[in-house]
A and B are shown apart, each in its own frame.
Chain A
Amino acid sequence: MNRSRRLKLRIFRIVVLLLMGAFFLLPIGAMLEFSTRGNSVISPRTLDAWVLIAQTPGLVKGIVTSLQLAVITSLGMLALLLPTMVWVRLRLPQISRIVEFICLLPLTVPAIALVVGLKPLYIWININVTPSVLALSFAYLILVLPYSYRSLDAGLAAIDLKTLSEAARSLGAGWITVMWRIVIPNMPSAILNAGLLSVALVLGEYTVASLLNFQNLQVEVAYVGLTNAPTSTAVAVGALVLAFVLLMVLTLVGGRLQQQNYIPGQRA
């Protein structure tokens, strides 16, 4: 590439990155600004709104609930998906396309549409199984399927599953041993990726929770926001920064390409 073209490209990149950076950092900065405003225009910056988070029982409960949901969903997703995917690869390769189709199906069903069908189901669950908010994990597991599947699929494709499992089985290992000691240790970044994506999704989920009348983090944030906007904004920006830090850690540790992240209606 000759010099003038290289220069033009550099200018282009600097301009684009600066403008975009400003566009995207502005609302985040505004959230920080908003959540640290004093009582009047001339008051100094204050962290009162942030401190209030711990004193607002609804928010604390929402944080705890969502964290619990995130853990349950991620672990449940791994427990359900990983053995199934390993099994299909080894024993039933002919249905791998069906399994893939099903796992990517939630991408085509908007969450707002799905929740219409979930409502009667959850009325039944509420009465016959448990009224606890943690029952939301059932639905969340479905929502995280596409990203988890893609991540785990990439991880499984990278190891020679057939050879490894056959070697282990010939040495006398049972299936649980194979999963625990052979499969999982050999795909740490894929599992971590799938887990963190699930956590991020669950922490940011609003649609299903609110329409099923559960109180998770986002529902509480919206509710508290009606009366105490600064504190709600503090929670929102805090969760955002946390998620960013988590993902940066993931890219530095995992080192794999980011998966495409998309689900209709789930995020916004």
Chain B
Amino acid sequence: MTAAGSPALNTAARPTEGGRRLSLSWLGVAPFFVYVGLFLLLPTAIVVVGSMTAPGGGFSLTNFAGINKPYMVKAFSLSLSVSAVSAVAGAFFGAVLAYAVVTGNPRGLLRRSIMSASGVLAQFGGVALAFAFIATISTVGFVTVFLKDHGIDIYANGVWLYDAPGITLIYVYFQIPLMVLVFLPALDGIRPQWREATESLGGSTWHYWRYVAGPLLAPAFLGCTLLLFANAFSAYATIAALLTNGGVYVPLQIQALLTSETEQSQPGLAQALAVAMILIVVIVMTLYTLLQRRTTRWLR
């Protein structure tokens, strides 16, 4: 301590000690980052890089030109429109159902059962969903037969179950529960004092919804609708199970490319489609996150 050389020894010891402790901390999270890097970031990178790799190697965007073909444009417009319609319908009916649930006993059996059921149905495997609707309204389905026995033929103008209207209806079946799950917390955040304050200030029910509840819930409603859109757009299993002959939806195009023997001719196209899908979903989810932030600020 008093020798001239010791302070130098002491200071020399410290950085190493600190450095060792610091690197040990990072070691603790290494498994997580390695795993995620390998199974999430690497595949994503493969897709992104592959989409911009020309057939013979080297950087190129020609793969994306494949999106411009008429049948591909049709696939995108169909996917986008079915997603949009099912999102809006699911959001509307889901919000109504959520309102009916949230106005009941918060700890009651009804609310808990509906939340559990929503959790299950929102995750309802696409295959099971396809079978459910085949069992219900296919040409030999329970409802179809029942209505036919009573003189109503829902397929008088052709079978629409496998067209856009049918797919949209099926999607609505899991969009509504999803809406209940993600929109209900916002409804929960509406305080009864705001309603009573509006009343005491002379406002009617219409005033309340127009000036208070409406504006407060608008960001949440819009955000949840976007979430539903992304959900429908990314869906694969239902249409894969239902449209066994392939179909004009973007996920099925990817399926066709991945399973075809002639994949060699357009190796980068599947990746280009995947990147396009990711881009669309990322944009929608970013908007959703921004709207959610506004919602939690007001309705925490």
A residues contacting B by CB (< 8 A) are: 5, 9, 12-13, 16-17, 20, 23-24, 26-31, 33-35, 80-81, 83-84, 87-88, 91-92, 95, 99, 102, 105-121, 138-139, 141-142, 145, 200-201, 203-207, 210-211, 218, 221-222, 225-226, 229, 232-233, 236-237, 239-240, 243-244, 247-248, 250-252, 257-258, 260-262, 264-268
Chain B positions 93 through 130: 1 when the CB is less than 8 Å from some CB of chain A, otherwise 0: 10011011001100000101101111111111111110
| B81 in contact (CB, < 8 A) | no
A81 in contact with B171 given A206-B125, A247-B116 (CB within 8 Å): no
Q: How far is the CA of A233 from the CA of B128 in the complex (A)?
A: 7
Q: Which of B112, B142, B275: most chain A CB closer than 10 A?
A: B142
Give chain B interface residues in 165-213, CB to chain A under 8 Å. 171, 173-174, 176-178, 181-182, 185, 205
B230 in contact (CB, < 8 A): yes
Residue on A nearest B126 in the bound complex, by CB: A268
Contact assessment for B100 and A16 in the assembled complex, using a CB-CB cutoff below 8 Å? yes
Give the top 10 A-B pairs by smallest Cβ distance, nearest first: A117-B43, A264-B234, A204-B125, A265-B234, A110-B234, A268-B126, A236-B128, A113-B274, A34-B135, A27-B132
A265 and B125 contacting across the interface, CB-CB below 8 Å: no
Contact A112 B182 (CB under 8 A): no
Chain B residues contacting A111 (CB-CB under 8 Å) are 234, 236
Give the interface residue-count category, chain B: 35 or more
Measured CB to CB, the nearest residue on chain A to B173 is A27
Partner of A112, one of B120, B123, B234, B275: B234
Q: What residues of chain A lie closer than 8 Å to B182, measured between beta carbons?
A: 260, 262
Partner of A206, one of B110, B126, B135: B126
A27 proximity list for chain B (CB < 8 A): 129, 132-133, 135-136, 173
**Whole-angstrom CA separation of A121 from B50 in the bound complex:** 13
B46 to A, closest residue via Cβ: A117
Are A34 and B120 in contact, with the CB atoms below 8 A?
Answer: no
Contacts of A113 in B (CB 8 A): 47, 234, 254, 273-275, 277-278
Contact among A16, A99, A261 with B119 in the assembled complex (CB-CB below 8 Å): A261
B173 CB to nearest chain A CB (Å):
7
Instruction: Check: B238 CB closer than 8 A to any chain A CB.
Output: yes
Q: Is the interface of A mostly helix, strand, loop or mixed?
A: helix
Partner of A258, one of B104, B119, B121, B231: B119
Of B4-12, B24-32, B154-162, which stretch is located at the interface? Answer: B24-32
- From B34-42, B54-62, B69-77, B214-222, give the one contacting chain A: B34-42
The reply to whether B237 and A268 contact each other, CB–CB distance below 8 Å, is yes
- Distance in angstroms from A202 CB to nearest chain B CB is 10
| Given A111-B234, A265-B235, A117-B120 contact (CB < 8 Å) | no
Known: A247-B116, A262-B178. A268 touches B235 (CB 8 A): yes
Chain A residues with CB under 8 A of B236 = 110-112, 206-207, 265, 268
B97 touches A92 (CB 8 A): no
Whether A268 and B174, one on each chain, are in contact in the complex, defined by CB atoms closer than 8 angstroms, is yes
* Residues in chain B near residue A251, CB distance under 8 A: 112, 115-116
Rounded to whole angstroms, the CA-CA distance of A267 and B126 in the bound complex is 6
Whether A80 lies near B251 (C-beta < 8 A) is: no
B103-A9 in contact (CB<8A) = yes
Among A33, A120, A211, A232, the residue within 8 A (CB) of B131 is: A232
Could you show 22 A-B contacts with beta carbons less than 8 Å apart? A12-B100, A16-B100, A20-B100, A24-B117, A30-B143, A31-B132, A34-B142, A92-B28, A105-B40, A108-B278, A112-B234, A142-B39, A211-B259, A218-B126, A225-B127, A236-B127, A240-B120, A240-B124, A261-B122, A261-B123, A262-B122, A262-B231
